[in-house]
Amino acid sequence: MKPYYERAGIALYHGDCHEVFPVLEPGKFSVMLTDPPYCSGAATSSAKTADPVAKYCQNGDAKGRPTFSGDAKDQRSFVAWSVFWMSACRRLLKDGGYGLVFTDWRQLPSVTDAFQAADFTWRGLIAWDKGLSSRSPHKGYARHQCEYLVWGTNGKCRPRADAGPFPGCHHESVRQADKFHIVGKPTELMVKLVEFCPVGESLIDCFAGSGTTLVAAAKSGRYGVGIEREEANCEIAARRLDRFFESPERQEN
Ligand SMILES: C[S@@+](CC[C@H](N)C(=O)[O-])C[C@H]1O[C@@H](n2cnc3c(N)ncnc32)[C@H](O)[C@@H]1O
Domain residue ranges in the chain: 5-252
Give the nearest ligand 1 atom to 185 CA: 8
Ligand 1 pocket, Cβ-based, cut-off 6 angstroms: 16-17, 35-37, 68-70, 180-181, 183-185, 207, 209-210, 212, 227-230, 233
Amino acid type, 82? S
Strands 146-153 and 202-205: unpaired
Residues 215, 10 contacting (CB under 8 angstroms): no
Closest by Cα among 153, 159, 142 to 31:
153
Separation CA 223–CA 120 (nearest Å): 22
Query: What whole-number percentage of the chain has pLDDT above 70?
Result: 98
Distance (Å, whole) CA 112 – CA 143: 22
Q: What is the mean pLDDT of the chain?
A: 94
- Ligand 1 nearest atom to the CA of residue 227, by list position: 21
- Band of pLDDT at residue 253, cut at 50, 70 and 90: low
Ligand 1 center to 46 CA (angstroms): 21
Q: Is 5-252 CATH 3.40.50.620?
A: no
pLDDT tens digits, one per residue of 155-204: 999 999 999 999 999 999 999 999 999 999 999 999 999 999 999 999 99
Among 170, 146, 148, 166, CA closest to 157: 166
- Ligand 1 centroid to Cα of residue 3, in Å, is 16
Measure Cα distances from 20 to 12, 15, 207, 229, 232 in Å. Answer: 10, 7, 12, 10, 18
Helix (H) or strand (E) holding 85: helix 75-90
